[in-house]
Amino acid sequence: MKTKQLLVIISTLFILNGCSKDYNPSDNETGISMYQTACSQCHKKDAKGFIFSFDSDNANVDYIQQRVESGSLMMPKFPNIQGEKLQQLSEYILKNSMVK
Ligand code: HEC
Could you give the domains of the chain? 2-99 (1.10.760.10)
Please name the residue whose Cα sits nearest to atom 5 of ligand 1. Answer: 39
Mutate to test the pocket of ligand 1, among 42, 56, 57 (most ligand atoms within 8 A of CB): 42
The confidence score (pLDDT) of residue 22 equals 84
Measured between alpha carbons, how far is residue 26 from residues 23, 52, 60, 73 in Å? Answer: 10, 25, 24, 27
pLDDT at residue 95 tops 70: yes
* 71 CA closest ligand 1 atom index: 18
Reference 84, options 29, 20, 22; nearest CA is 29
pLDDT tens by residue, 20-49: 568 999 999 999 999 999 999 999 999 999
Quote the pTM value: 0.85
Residue 96 one-letter amino acid: N
